[in-house]
């Protein structure tokens, strides 16, 4: 039956077209009545009670009747023959049929019409599925019937034979575009909420939102503009957000997103600019594994020398393996677009390694750069970028970013090693900040086994005219005379004839003699005031537990510091030594040894019994870097250290007690002529000196508090080498022990100056966050880095069970809280419900939160990692971790947790500006008197001088003014000054519009800030807004 009906329909359609065209050619005056008669004949030929297919055909014919009448009217308006209009419409209809003639003049519309038009849901839900196959090109029903089973034929007819419906769909998309453009261009609508709502409405109703968005973007008037303020950009961005929700993605999206559509979208988003490419790739799923059909687009970019576009698309699409590094990366270097290299290499480890190896080859001094540049064919190449120095810097950065082994890049490793050698020579011979022992250790570490660096060390020493040192290093590395300068060879011969120091004294000076003597230390540097016998190296399991037993005693104050070997090249840094000092002993934890002999549970005992023990005060300076390196070495300790308690950063204490630029102790070290003299404050007698850059950190703080700076000659040492030299042991012990002395001195100064400050400010928890390098490495691997982890109620830092389970609920005014700057929205909502809330400003940190909590006995509301830090200082009972996301959900969470019952009278019971809860009630008449009085004060006749004269001499007041003063005094208002009588705060009555004064019967004035409130029409809206909170009282 279906086959017969379809065949009948094909015959009728052909007969109608032929008759229509022939008659209109013979006489172009065919009447509309005759055409309508032909349509009626077709309808009568169809069965009256047919199946669904027949009904669809009937609907289509009816639509053609209506359209024919519309053609007649349009022809009359344009003054042309109806035959021309009919032929045009027939041609357009055939253009829309799969396999029909293509219309060259309207190619984009044809593409969208023939490519799965987004029919609205409810008209034909099955159309998309069967029209999505690009293989369906024939318009012959017989051929289609042979390809599909009989059961699918009716579905195909529904999707393909209704040509009028296809044309209507393109018209619908055009109407949607016009609607969006009208609203976008309306300057009176600054709020784009309607745009957002309308777009999402159409997307949710469309069975093929992908084609709809592609049409709107390509047809929009500002599509060609490379700006983020265009309608096209807005549509693509919002569509990407819409697709990010899984519920919005159509069930058969893999059928809707054909290769033809994806290619069209990629061409569309790269035709004029690249602003929408990122959104399009995600929304249209262009980065799927089977996207190699997009490679020709990138090849086209390369042919046009658009290397930037090729790199951006290649990286986002993951097509790097289809190109060699010389095709894309080398041109980016030549055009000075190296910032795009990382974007291009995201997520492809193989290509990352190949790029670094290519850079390593280019760093070879024997490479002919001119040949490479000329053979590349890159226009406008910047030759200065193809120098080994910038190339080696780029390669070294990428090596570290991608964790490329140094043995794969020998040229880059040699260049980095040479830079390290030059830096060490500068520190030794120019700056003079390194002792011979630590310098030799670091040189040996930087040179390693590289023959190139051994020879370069000799040459660099000759640049400093250190011939003897060069000869001794040549002997140490057993270099042949042919590989060293002649002067060095001659000096080696002289040294052999007159033997000098051993190889252990390479620099011509003994390690210990090179260090400062005891007299020098006592004169210039702050010394260690504890005997060497009181220093214990903890390098066994037994000594570790003995150390932990001593440090975990209640009431102990401990100084903390740590040391690690400086990193040169691509070496991995790890903490090597941790110093823990008490007043009578110093423990040096050998973490290199202990890391191999202690179990995970042993290390966690250090966190539980020491770092998280509130009975022990821990002091440190620059603890962020210490803890960051410690956690990097022992990652499993991060969770245990999250609950640290009473860990104090001395730098914060010093900032509160003293200013680092103020010399609290006289400077007896002398001053050169070229140094700026101290600025003396004649009033206070305090000498203020701006310290030099090198006079910073702990050494400068020790000088300000204890009189002399610390020696830092051993800071840059090989702390992994065992055994440690005596100078290293003394340096490490002093760095921890001096913290105890500095803290005692700061406490004494604070007490002497009667400062009311917190001497145990909380330590920063920044070390718990991922470092910038970790984020960059995660991005390079194509991973989405989690910047902020949402707290979970199952984690160890979850707040305790709800407190509101008791029989007596709490009123909002009884709850006193302080919210940090991250939860300002929650704070305002709670204040609107009547809760006593202190809201931190954006510039105030979590230290201020803890301070307010202690001073005003307020409960801290925070979230995320800051909760861990706050809890360690105020206790679990004085803080709560908010876990909801939106402010509306957060209010409900807090109210339920604390058992607060909000009533209607509580809404706006507190001032939204100052948090005050005391109001003056001013009736309308008295409010009008205040309003006019305020206006009088602002005029010339009511100047401030006249007001003060009348206030000082009431006899000068008029009778009316005296009555007003007496009347308003009953309401707690000073009429003369227009202020609150109790607090003297000026009443802001001028902020009330004049029209409101005569309409509202009662006004409320905050006694703390003078803000004026009244109940208007908005109050009912506010109550509706907080209905979700008021229901908690039910």
As averages over each run of 10 residues, the pLDDT of the chain (1034 residues) reads 55 56 44 53 53 50 59 58 46 33 44 53 40 37 40 40 51 88 78 79 87 92 92 93 83 83 92 93 92 92 93 94 93 92 92 94 88 88 84 89 89 88 92 87 90 93 93 93 92 82 46 48 82 95 95 94 84 91 96 93 93 93 92 90 89 80 43 38 34 60 92 90 93 96 92 84 76 75 55 39 59 90 88 90 83 90 82 84 83 88 85 88 87 74 45 57 81 86 87 83 89 75 63 52
Q: Which helix (H) or strand (E) holds 477?
A: none
DSSP-assigned beta bridge partners for residue 817: 837, 859
Question: In angstroms, rounded to a whole number, what is the distance separating the alpha carbons of residues 570 and 214?
Answer: 47
- Contacting residues for 109 by C-beta, under 8 A, at least 6 apart: 103, 170
Q: Which helix (H) or strand (E) holds 580?
A: strand 575-582
What is the rounded (10 degree) CA torsion for 13, 14, 15, 17? 80
110 touches 211 (CB < 8 A)? no
Question: In angstroms, rounded to a whole number, what is the distance separating the alpha carbons of residues 360 and 789?
Answer: 39
354 touches 329 (CB < 8 A)? no
900 touches 809 (CB < 8 A)? yes
DSSP code for 426: I
Nearest residue to 207 via CA among 264, 263, 165:
165
One-letter-per-residue 3-state SS of 789-853: CCCCCCCCCCCCCCCCCCCCCECHHHCEEEECHHHHHHHHHHHHCCCEEEECCCCCCHHHHHHHH
Residue 1014 phi, psi (nearest 5)? -155, 160
284 touches 264 (CB < 8 A)? no
Dihedral sign (CA 598, 599, 603, 609): negative
Question: In angstroms, rounded to a whole number, what is the distance separating the alpha carbons of residues 184 and 163?
Answer: 32
pLDDT given for residue 963 in this prediction: 80
Write out the two tokens for 754.
């009667």
Q: Which helix (H) or strand (E) holds 559?
A: strand 557-564
Write out the two tokens for 458.
């000799």
Write out the two tokens for 943.
């100047």
Write out the two tokens for 183.
């609203």
Q: What is the CA radius of gyration of the chain?
A: 41
What is the rounded (10 degree) CA torsion for 603, 605, 609, 612? 60
Dihedral sign (CA 242, 246, 251, 257): positive
Q: Looking up tokens 């004035």, which residue turns up?
A: 1005
738 touches 579 (CB < 8 A)? no
Residue 1004 phi, psi (nearest 5)? -120, 130
Q: Which helix (H) or strand (E) holds 648?
A: strand 647-649
Question: In angstroms, rounded to a whole number, what is the distance separating the alpha carbons of residues 29 and 404?
Answer: 82
pLDDT given for residue 662 in this prediction: 45
Report the relative pairing of strands 1002-1006 and 919-923 from DSSP bridges: antiparallel
DSSP-assigned beta bridge partners for residue 587: 536, 580
pLDDT given for residue 146 in this prediction: 45
Instruction: Tell me the three state secondary structure of residue 920.
Output: strand
Instruction: Tell me the three state secondary structure of residue 713.
Output: coil
* DSSP-H helix ranges across 363-450: 369-376, 388-402, 410-425, 436-447
Instruction: Tell me the three state secondary structure of residue 448.
Output: coil
Q: Looking up tokens 């003299």, which residue turns up?
A: 677
Question: In angstroms, rounded to a whole number, what is the distance separating the alpha carbons of residues 3 and 142?
Answer: 9
Write out the two tokens for 261.
């559509």
Nearest residue to 1022 via CA among 890, 925, 946, 912:
912
* DSSP-H helix ranges across 498-643: 511-514, 518-524, 541-551, 591-597, 600-606, 623-633, 638-641
Write out the two tokens for 8.
């009948």
Nearest residue to 117 via CA among 129, 128, 106:
128
Write out the two tokens for 33.
């009545």
Write out the two tokens for 49.
């009670």
Determine what percent of the chain falls in helix, strand and coil, rounding each to the nearest 5.
55, 5, 35
**First-to-final CA distance of the chain:** 65
636 touches 603 (CB < 8 A)? yes
Determine the longest span between alpha carbons in the chain, in angstroms.
Answer: 127
Q: Looking up tokens 């190449």, which residue turns up?
A: 381
439 touches 424 (CB < 8 A)? yes
- Contacting residues for 9 by C-beta, under 8 A, at least 6 apart: 57, 161
761 touches 838 (CB < 8 A)? no
Half-sphere exposure of 59 (CA within 13 A, CB side): 14
262 touches 317 (CB < 8 A)? no
Dihedral sign (CA 575, 576, 578, 579): negative
What is the rounded (10 degree) CA torsion for 638, 644, 648, 652? 60
Nearest residue to 355 via CA among 319, 377, 327:
327
Write out the two tokens for 426.
């500068």
Distances (CA, A) of 380 to 298, 334, 390, 668: 20, 8, 18, 61
Report the relative pairing of strands 617-620 and 647-649 from DSSP bridges: parallel
């Amino acid at each position: 039956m279906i086959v017969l009906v379809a065949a009948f329909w094909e015959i009728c359609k052909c007969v109608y077209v032929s008759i229509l065209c022939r008659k209109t050619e013979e006489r172009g005056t065919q009447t509309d009545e005759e055409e309508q008669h032909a349509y009626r004949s077709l309808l009568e030929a169809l069965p009256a009670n047919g199946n669904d297919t027949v009904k669809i055909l009937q609907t289509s014919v009816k639509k053609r009747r209506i359209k024919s009448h519309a053609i007649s009217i349009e022809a009359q308006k344009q003054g042309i023959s109806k035959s021309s209009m009919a032929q045009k419409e027939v041609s357009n209809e055939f253009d829309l049929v799969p396999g029909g003639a293509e219309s060259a003049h309207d190619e984009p519309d044809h593409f969208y019409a023939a490519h799965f038009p987004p029919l609205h849901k409810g008209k034909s839900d099955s159309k998309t599925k069967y029209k999505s196959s690009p293989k369906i090109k024939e318009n012959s029903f017989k051929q289609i019937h042979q390809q599909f089973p009989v059961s699918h034929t009716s579905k195909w007819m529904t999707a393909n034979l209704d040509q009028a419906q296809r044309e209507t769909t393109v018209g619908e998309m055009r109407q949607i575009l016009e609607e969006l453009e009208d609203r976008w261009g309306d300057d009176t609508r600054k709020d784009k909420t309607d745009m957002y709502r309308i777009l999402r409405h159409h997307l949710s109703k469309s069975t093929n939102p992908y084609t709809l968005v592609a049409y709107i973007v390509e047809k929009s008037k500002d599509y060609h503009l490379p700006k983020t303020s265009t309608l096209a950009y807005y549509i693509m961005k919002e569509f990407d957000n819409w697709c990010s929700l899984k519920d919005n993605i159509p069930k058969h999206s893999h059928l809707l997103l054909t290769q033809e559509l994806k290619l069209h979208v990629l061409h569309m988003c790269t035709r004029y600019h690249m602003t929408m490419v990122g959104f399009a790739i995600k929304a249209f799923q262009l980065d799927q594994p089977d996207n190699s059909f997009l490679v020709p687009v990138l090849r086209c970019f390369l042919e046009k020398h658009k290397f930037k576009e090729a790199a951006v698309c290649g990286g986002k699409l993951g097509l790097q393996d289809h190109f060699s590094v010389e095709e894309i990366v080398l041109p980016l270097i030549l055009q000075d677009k190296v910032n795009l290299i990382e974007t291009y290499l995201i997520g492809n480890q193989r290509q990352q390694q190949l790029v670094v190896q290519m850079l390593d080859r280019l760093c070879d001094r024997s490479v002919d750069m001119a040949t490479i540049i000329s053979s590349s064919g890159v226009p406008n190449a910047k030759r200065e970028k193809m120098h080994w120095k910038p190339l080696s810097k780029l390669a070294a950065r990428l090596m570290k970013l991608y964790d490329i082994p140094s043995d794969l890049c020998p040229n880059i490793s040699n260049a980095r090693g040479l830079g390290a050698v030059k830096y060490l020579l500068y520190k030794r011979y120019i700056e003079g900040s390194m002792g011979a022992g630590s310098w030799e250790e670091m040189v040996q570490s930087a040179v390693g086994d590289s023959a190139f660096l051994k020879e370069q060390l000799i040459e660099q020493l000759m640049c400093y005219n250190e011939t003897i040192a060069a000869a001794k290093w040549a002997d140490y590395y057993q270099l042949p005379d042919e590989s060293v300068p002649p002067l060095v060879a001659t000096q080696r011969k002289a040294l052999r004839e007159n033997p000098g120091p051993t190889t252990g004294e390479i620099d011509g000076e003994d390690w210990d003699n090179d260090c400062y003597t005891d007299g020098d230390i006592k004169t210039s540097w702050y010394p260690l005031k504890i005997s060497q016998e009181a220093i214990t190296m903890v390098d066994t399991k037994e000594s570790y537990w003995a150390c932990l037993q001593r440090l975990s005693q209640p009431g102990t104050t401990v100084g903390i510091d740590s040391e690690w070997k400086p990193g040169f090249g691509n070496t991995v840094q790890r903490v090597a030594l941790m110093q823990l000092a008490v007043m009578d002993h110093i423990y040096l934890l050998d973490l290199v040894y202990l890391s191999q002999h202690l179990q995970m549970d042993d290390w966690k005992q250090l966190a539980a019994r020491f770092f998280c023990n509130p009975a022990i005060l821990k002091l440190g300076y620059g603890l962020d870097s210490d803890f960051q390196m410690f956690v990097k070495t022992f990652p499993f300790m991060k969770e245990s250290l999250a609950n640290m308690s009473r860990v104090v950063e001395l730098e914060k204490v010093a900032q509160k007690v003293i200013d680092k630029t103020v010399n609290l102790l006289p400077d007896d070290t002398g001053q050169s002529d070229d140094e700026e003299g101290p600025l003396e404050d004649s009033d206070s007698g305090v000498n203020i000196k701006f310290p030099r850059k090198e006079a910073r950190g702990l050494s400068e703080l020790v000088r300000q508090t204890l009189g002399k700076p610390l020696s830092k000659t051993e800071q840059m040492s090989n702390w992994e080498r065992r055994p440690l030299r005596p100078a290293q042991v003394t340096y490490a012990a002093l760095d921890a022990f001096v913290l105890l002395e500095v803290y005692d001195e700061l406490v004494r100064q604070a007490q002497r100056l009667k400062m009311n400050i917190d001497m145990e400010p909380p330590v920063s928890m920044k070390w718990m966050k991922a470092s910038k390098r970790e984020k960059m490495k995660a991005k390079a691997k194509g991973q989405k880095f989690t910047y902020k982890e949402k707290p979970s109620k199952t984690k160890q830092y979850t707040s305790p069970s709800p407190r509101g389970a008791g029989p007596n609920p709490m009123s909002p005014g009884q709850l006193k809280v302080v919210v940090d700057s991250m939860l300002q929205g929650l704070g305002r909502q709670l204040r609107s419900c009547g809760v006593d809330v202190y809201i931190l400003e954006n510039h105030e940190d979590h230290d201020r939160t803890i301070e307010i909590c202690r001073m005003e006995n307020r409960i801290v509301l925070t979230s995320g990692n800051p909760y861990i830090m706050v809890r360690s200082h105020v206790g679990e009972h004085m803080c709560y971790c908010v876990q909801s996301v939106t402010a509306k959900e957060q209010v409900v969470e807090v109210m339920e947790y604390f058992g607060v019952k909000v009533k209607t009278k509580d809404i706006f019971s507190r001032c939204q500006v100052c948090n005050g809860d005391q109001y003056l009630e001013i009736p309308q008449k008295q409010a009008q008197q205040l309003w006019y009085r305020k206006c009088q004060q602002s005029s010339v006749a009511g100047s401030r001088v006249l007001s003060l004269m009348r206030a000082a001499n009431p006899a000068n007041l008029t009778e009316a003014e005296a009555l007003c003063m007496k009347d308003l005094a009953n309401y707690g208002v000073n009429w003369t000054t227009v202020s609150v009588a109790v607090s003297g705060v000026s009443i802001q009555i001028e902020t009330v519009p004049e029209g409101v004064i005569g309409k509202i019967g009662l006004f409320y004035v905050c006694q703390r800030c003078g803000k004026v409130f009244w109940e208007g029409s908005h109050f009912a809206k506010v109550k509706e807004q907080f209905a979700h909170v008021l229901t908690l009282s039910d």
